Structure 1
Amino acid sequence: MTVMSIAGLQLALPANENNFDVIAKEVRNVKKRFPHVSMVVLSELATFGPAPRYAQTLPGECESAYSELACEVGIWLVNGSIFERDENRVYNTSSVISPAGEVVARYRKMFPFLPFEEGISSGNTPCVFTIPDVGTIGLSICYDMWFPETTRALAWQGAEVIIHPTLTNTIDRDVELSIARSTAAVNQCYMVDINAASPMGVGRSIIVGPGGEIIHQSSSEHDVMLFDVDFDYVRRVRERGWQGLGQPLKSFRDHPLNYPQYQAEARSKALDGLGPLKKPDNLA
């Protein structure tokens, strides 16, 4: 049996401050309380909040502090994300750090929340990493989830778990919970969607199994979500179908259709007719 214990931290952190010391205390407390935990996952932009002025270079001081913390505590650590400055561009980037303190993956959010997340550049590379003798994990950040191509790309590369830090403080959180469940079901994977609690976010983090079943759903308050990922269960669902039913990954693999919307230089009259991507005008 291949099982990994993961703790998602839905923390009540202020925006636009350096929250590292508070986060480090929470991580240490989780490991002290639950010695068997192997990975800790933070919410999107947990360290500094949604302020590009705090953008860091990578590698850099902030990421190094997380590396030292992961090594000290002896866990895999997903730092949610921070804004990364790379020359004249800013990205929303998540780092994955091993128990040895090594940065094993960095993922740049592919779909910034435009037109509202202004000035943030898009990443262009789906990101998966493999923990030897355990399994393969993919990374996704917040608005990425609204584009099924992003998570299908992760499943295509073998992701059995999708770690999805998010920062949502808007009315559409209920819709996101539905997307998280459907994403897990259609890709036959775990979906680990970790939001921030108030004041930065509205909470309601959700952990979903590979059949779309809810393992845990948080309230809006501080929450430490400890759960087990059973990789053998994912593989069984992918082979046999959830409850012996649909096998969507195999059907997707075997279908001969080359989707026209993904062909080079393809255009859609329907989508082109929607107008520019901008903030809504006043309806009055």
Structure 2
Amino acid sequence: MASAAHLTAGLVQHACSDDPDSNLARTERGIRDAAARGARLVLLQELHRTPYFCKQEDPAVFDMAEPIPGPTTNFLSNLAKELEVVIVGSLFERRAAGLYHNTAVVLDSDGRLAGHYRKMHIPDDPGYYEKFYFTPGDTGFEPVDTSVGRLGVLVCWDQWFPEAARLMALAGAEILLYPTAIGWADEDDRDERERQRDAWMLVQRGHAVANGLPVLVCNRHGREPDPANPAAGATFWGTSFVAGPQGELLASADEDGDQVLLATLDMKRSETVRRMWPFLRDRRVDHYHDLVRLYRR
């Protein structure tokens, strides 16, 4: 559980190249910067060691996957222990031959692998062919206990589903965290781009309000071409942000550019907010049975 009334969190937003080692070096610089500025919790973006490779279906990409524990978790573990910070990372997990996941890992401030979460909701859309690569997670919606609190870690596409945020809150999560890789397609015009990003921020700020919890969202930035068609691709919109338990924006990064975003969370505020807005108290669980159905008609 949280040992202090206030917690400074850092979000490391950066572009990714085809060089995993270069990407990891960028991540390391960001973590060190955040720790030097007082962060005790550092959130990284989705699949921070690689380009976003789901723009096409290519069996050779599976060679980038790694076990847990493995090279990336060992690297982050040593860094967490050295800097005495909690790090939430994201990687392409090879669980077994033919069984792969999009997995978030939590390294505690003593370097211990405190837990992991396997992405539950897997998209399959143009430019986001994740079902080819990732098996849906089997970890459930269970928070991870760390030295800075109980962390409700989810991943990217999970952020559109209120059920995921609610189940983490009902399991005692004190913070919701979303490593993310989301952007615009080249064909999207300016108005469509603004609608998409506004919806993305709005739904996650809504999770903060509905659950009375702070929300941390770390997204990559930069244009990444489609390997099958370099003239096409996606531009990831950055805009990593931190919202408080009433959805208030505490900090927001730029649309473009590597950036280490810091925000200080009042860890007592959720209790105050939930006393004023007791949504958990007023839930009608005796009438929610149809929520487990795919559709009612």
The structure-2 alpha-carbon separation of the partners of 1:233 and 1:86, relative to structure 1 and needing over 3 Å to count, comes to same
Structure 1 residue matching 2:20: 3-state secondary structure? coil
Matched-pair identity in %: 25
Q: Is the 8 A contact 2:114 2:146 kept in 1?
A: no
Cα drift, residue 9 of structure 1: 1.1
Cα drift, residue 143 of structure 1: 0.5
Q: Is the 8 A contact 1:138 1:161 kept in 2?
A: yes
Cα drift, residue 255 of structure 1: 4.7
Which string of whole-angstrom CA distances, capped at 9 and with x for unpartnered residues, describes residues 20-42 of structure 1? 1221122223323x1x2201111
For 1:29 and 1:161, locate their aligned partners in 2 and report how far apart those are by CA, in whole Å.
22
Could you say which residue in structure 2 is the equivalent of 1:190? 214
Cα drift, residue 269 of structure 1: 6.1
Structure 1 portions without partners, runs of 5+: 242-246, 271-284
Matched, 1:226 2:288: no
Could you say which residue in structure 2 is the equivalent of 1:7? 10
Matched, 1:84 2:93: yes
Matched, 1:121 2:130: no
Matched, 1:142 2:166: no
Aligned residues: 257
Matched, 1:259 2:289: yes
TM-score normalised by the chain length of structure 1: 0.84
Quote the RMSD (CA, aligned, Å).
1.9
Could you say which residue in structure 2 is the equivalent of 1:175? 199
For 2:35 and 2:158, locate their aligned partners in 1 and report how far apart those are by CA, in whole Å.
30
**Among residues 21, 46, 49, which one is paired with 2:48 in the alignment?**
46
Structure 2 residue matching 1:165: 3-state secondary structure? strand
For 1:82 and 1:98, locate their aligned partners in 2 and report how far apart those are by CA, in whole Å.
17
**Among residues 234, 247, 250, which one is paired with 1:212 in the alignment?**
247
Aligned pairs for 1:87-126 (under 5 A) are: 87=96, 88-115=98-125, 116-119=129-132, 120-124=134-138, 125-126=140-141
Q: Is the 8 A contact 1:106 1:127 kept in 2?
A: no
Cα drift, residue 197 of structure 1: 1.7
For 1:178 and 1:258, locate their aligned partners in 2 and report how far apart those are by CA, in whole Å.
24
Aligned pairs for 1:32-43 (under 5 A) are: 32=36, 34=37, 36-43=38-45
TM-score normalised by the chain length of structure 2: 0.81
Cα drift, residue 84 of structure 1: 0.4
Hey, which of these two has a bigger chunk of strand by percent? Answer: 2
Deviates more, 1:172-181 or 1:143-152: 172-181
**Among residues 62, 84, 87, which one is paired with 1:74 in the alignment?**
84
